[in-house]
Amino acid sequence: MTCPGRNFVTLKIETDQGVYGLGDATLNGRELSVVSYLEDHVIPCLIGRDAHQIEDIWQYLYRGAYWRRGPVTMSAIAAVDMALWDIKGKIAGLPLYQLLGGACRTGVMVYGHANGTTIENTVEVAQSYQALGYKAIRLQCGVPGLSSTYGVSKDKMFYEPADADLPTENEWNTEAYMRVVPKLFKAAREALGDEVHLLHDVHHRLTPIEAGRLGRDLEPYRPFWMEDATPAENQESFKLIRQHTTTPLAVGEIFNTLWDCKDLISNQLIDYIRATVVHAGGITHLKRIASFADVYGVKTGCHGATDLSPVCMSAALHFDVSIPNFGIQEYMRHTELTDEVFPHNYSFKAGSLHIGEAPGLGVDIDEEKAAKYPYQRAYLPVNRLQDGTLFNW
């Protein structure tokens, strides 16, 4: 556990020949549960195993636990999987993407986050991202009448939702939100031009029919995607959204396995699957999801918020560059302190991230520095309707 500005759980696996690999196991707001799952139930099973048997170890931890799926289990399995791929790459002397089949593209297109309290300052922030070379930008602005909104923070470049020792309480009004977002997109299209990709995250706050309406209202501004339009426990609910809008749909940052998106993908109800390395069982399982998605013309758009450590980001970039149906990668910059604790080999250039040629994942942890920043409890907020009803955050 380390907290260089925010909490990260990192697994380090070392072989008897002295090669080590790193895996990210961070589950925002529930970090210590994954630490316990690893320490109490996974690590004892790993001692003495052949680090090369990545698939067998994955199956051992997934099937062997009897209790399948779930974010804690799958984050723990993901950390082991990442660390083993890191080891295999280091032993082979190759960057991980080479072991995954080699590069399919020259770089990984990323999107940055423009957020602001008003439409005007959100557009200004988006312009500053455009000036940095970003080809894709996510837009989130404050909702008039609400004291706080998902995605909007005080700092223009860094958004950190896990902001308090106990959950912060946000308030919500769907009608006000649905009035402001099309205005934001209209202003952004006018200011930023036709070429830049514009994205938006609804963060699970609409019903399917409301999402259909918002998607339709955004169509004139050609959004790249509308993310997490509605909660996805009921995969069928996306049929209703699809009936009403051609705005592309992205979902899946909280999914843990292929089973969470099997119907969404096979019924072509989504365009982008956002499952990510750390929360969906590692490279091994994410590859399976991506291959399945490819059959149905669904592309990837991996989650890449700041709670996914540079270890996960490195793994994601090797994955992104090596699969045929890559769509886009989310990229929220980490703070300098986080980057110091996790020195890494990827770099940003002209709207894309480049993973580099270091063997394995190409990321390390400075354990001395990490030890200086002990765990600090931090929760994601909760969200209530204005009459106090607990709602989706």
Binding site for ligand EZ4 (CB under 6 A): 28, 161, 201, 203, 253, 303, 305, 307, 330, 380
Phi-psi region of 297 (alpha: psi -120 to 50; beta: other; left: phi over 0): left
Burial pattern 97-111, b for ≥16 Cβ within 10 A else e, equals bbbbeebeeebbbbb
Burial class (CB within 10 angstroms; exposed 0-12, middle 13-18, buried 19+) of 231: middle
CB of 75 to ligand EZ4, least distance (A): 12
- In the structure encoding, which two tokens stand for residue 386, read together? 């204005």
Q: Toward ligand EZ4, which CB reaches closer, 208 or 304?
A: 304
Q: Which does 46 bind (CB under 5 to 8 A by kind): Co ion, ligand EZ4, none?
A: none
Identify the active-site residue in 62, 134, 150, 159: 150
CB of 304 to Co ion, least distance (A): 10
User: Is residue 150 annotated as part of the catalytic site, yes or no?
Assistant: yes
201 binds Co ion (CB under 5 A): yes
Q: Toward ligand EZ4, which CB reaches closer, 194 or 233?
A: 233
What 8-state DSSP symbol labels residue 198?
E
Residues forming beta bridges with residue 376, ordered by sequence position: none
CA distance 323 to 317: 10
81 binds Co ion (CB under 5 A): no
Q: Give the binding range for Co ion (CB under 5 A) out of 1-9, 136-144, 198-206, 255-263.
A: 198-206
Q: Toward ligand EZ4, which CB reaches closer, 21 or 161?
A: 161
User: Is residue 354 annotated as part of the catalytic site, yes or no?
Assistant: no
Q: Which does 217 bind (CB under 5 to 8 A by kind): ligand EZ4, Co ion, none?
A: none
3-state helix, strand, coil in the chain (%, to 5): 40, 15, 45
Site string for Co ion, 204-243 (x = CB under 5 A): ----------------------------------------
Q: Toward ligand EZ4, which CB reaches closer, 33 or 267?
A: 33
Q: Toward ligand EZ4, which CB reaches closer, 28 or 122?
A: 28
Q: Are 309 and 276 in contact (CB under 8 A)?
A: no
Cα 89 vs. chain centroid, distance in angstroms?
Answer: 23
The residue number whose beta carbon is nearest to ligand EZ4 equals 305
State the alpha helices, DSSP H only, in 96-220.
96-99, 119-131, 174-192, 208-218
List contacts with Co ion (CB under 5 A).
201, 253
Q: Which residues are catalytic?
A: 150, 203
